[in-house]
Amino acid sequence: MFIYLFKQTEQIIPMSKSTDKKINRFDAKIINKVADLFNVSTRYVRMCLKKERHGKTAESIIKQYNLLNTKVQAAMNIKKPTV
């Protein structure tokens, strides 16, 4: 004769971490322009923006991308005059 001391129950416990993956989206046209300016590949530019590469060139690429990105965003936000 067996006596069960503990009641076995299955509990569904939700995961504490979110399963959403953060996706960094960069403007491809700006990346192509920066890659042409520095004579590097677009992959290298993306790696610099994700901070997987370090150095003076990587810092310059990040600054140039941010500069061009702010200019593009500002140009897109300009309101056209109504007639």
What ranges do the domains of the chain cover?
Answer: 28-77
Residue 1 pLDDT exceeds 60:
no
Per-residue confidence (pLDDT) for residue 32, from 0 to 100? 96
Predicted TM-score (pTM) of the model is 0.67
Q: How confident is the model at residue 26 (pLDDT cuts 50, 70, 90)?
A: confident
Q: In the numeric block, which tokens belong to residue 83?
A: 């007639």
CB under 8 Å to 8, separation ≥6 — which residues? Answer: none
Beta-carbon neighbour count of residue 78 at 10 Å? 7
Q: How far is CA 76 from CA 8, 63, 70, 72, 73, in A?
A: 61, 20, 10, 6, 5
